[in-house]
């Protein structure tokens, strides 16, 4: 029995232009009205607020699991300590890689962040000499495949790396995963792993599609995600998540 639905945002619930359709909003509300919890799990941080209303959801997981919330209450976090990430980013900077650390909603980067993410306004260009505090997530812009081997060779043991489809290396605390964040939210609602349906499209969604009750890949997913999914739904631009929920959850329960 399904008690919770978790969905990725970019290229999954959101359309390519980062909008969410009225139809999708209506389906989300109808699913919640049936007593099923709906949460989202994204690699994004505070920039998520500019894209979607948190009020549509019962909980959410940010920065690939660095933080998890229920009713806007923080219930789980796994941060990267300054003495771990600062030497690491400085070494990458010395190798002429473009890097950034997200700390309390601000991107501390060695380049103009607007060049990569036009929607981000809160950023500071830095050499990391005078940074304090723990980071939620680290980013490295990958320009050739050989850089991945170099990064992993010096990656601190406390961290792990995911490479997104747009060649962005996302680096998090080893315990900051979408699955861990989702499970903490599920505990709040007494939901087991087998009672969760997960939707995703990219490599950082693989673990949740494999480990929960059902995994649904978008038609626009990378091949690796399609291969491990239980179902494949329509594309994000065709409201694939909402269509699947309407057919397989709402109509069955009606």
pLDDT tens digits along 11-67: 999 999 999 999 999 999 999 999 999 999 999 887 788 889 999 999 999 999 999
* pLDDT at 238 > cutoff 90: yes
Among 82-91, 109-118, 173-182, the range scoring the smallest mean pLDDT is: 109-118
Is 208:179 a contact under the CB 8 Å cutoff? yes
Burial class (CB in 10 A: 0-12, 13-18, 19+), 2: buried
Q: pLDDT value at position 27?
A: 97
Among 28-37, 111-120, 128-137, 189-198, the range scoring the smallest mean pLDDT is: 111-120
* pLDDT at 135 > cutoff 60: yes
Mean pLDDT calculated for residue range 163-190: 94
Residue 55 makes CB contacts below 8 A (sequence gap 6+) with none
* pLDDT at 231 > cutoff 60: yes
Using alpha carbons, select from 206, 205, 200, 196 the residue that is nearest to residue 219. 200
The mean predicted confidence, pLDDT, of the chain is 94
* pLDDT at 8 > cutoff 90: yes
pLDDT tens digits along 180-220: 999 999 999 999 999 999 999 999 999 999 999 999 999 99
Domain 4-77+176-253 classified CATH 3.40.50.1000? Answer: yes
Q: pLDDT value at position 252?
A: 64
Cross-strand bridge partners of residue 40: 7, 60
pLDDT category at 105 given cuts 50, 70, 90 is confident
Name the range with the highest mean pLDDT among 89-93, 113-117, 166-170.
89-93
Give the strand pairing for 231-233 and 214-218: parallel
**218-233 burial by CB neighbour count: b if 16+ within 10 A, else e?**
bebbbeebeeebeeeb
Q: pLDDT value at position 122?
A: 86
4-77+176-253 and 82-173: identical CATH topology: no
Q: pLDDT value at position 119?
A: 78
Domain 82-173 classified CATH 3.30.9.10? Answer: no
Listed by start position, the domains of the chain span 4-77+176-253, 82-173
């Amino acid at each position: 029995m399904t008690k919770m639905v978790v969905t990725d945002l970019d290229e999954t619930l959101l359309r390519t232009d980062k909008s969410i359709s009225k139809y999708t909003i209506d389906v989300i509300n109808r699913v919640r009205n049936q007593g099923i919890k709906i949460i989202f799990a994204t690699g994004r941080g505070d920039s998520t607020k500019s894209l979607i209303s948190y009020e549509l959801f019962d909980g959410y997981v940010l920065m690939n699991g660095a933080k998890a919330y229920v009713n806007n209450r923080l219930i789980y976090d796994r941060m990267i300590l300054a003495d771990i990430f600062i030497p690491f980013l400085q070494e990458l900077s010395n190798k002429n890689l473009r890097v950034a650390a997200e700390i309390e909603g601000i991107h501390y980067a060695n380049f103009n962040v607007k060049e990569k993410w036009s929607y981000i306004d809160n950023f500071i260009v830095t050499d990391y000499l005078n940074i304090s505090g723990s980071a939620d997530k680290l980013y490295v812009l990958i320009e050739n495949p050989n850089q991945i081997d170099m990064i992993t060779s010096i990656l601190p043991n406390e961290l792990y790396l995911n490479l997104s489809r747009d060649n962005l290396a996302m680096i998090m605390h080893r315990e900051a995963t979408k699955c861990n964040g989702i499970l903490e939210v599920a505990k709040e609602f007494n939901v087991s792993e087998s009672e969760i349906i997960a939707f995703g499209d990219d490599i950082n969604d693989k673990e949740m599609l494999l480990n929960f009750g059902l995994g649904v890949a978008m038609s626009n997913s990378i091949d690796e995600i399609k291969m491990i999914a239980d179902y494949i739904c329509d594309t994000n631009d065709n409201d694939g998540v909402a269509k699947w929920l309407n057919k397989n959850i709402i109509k069955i329960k009606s």
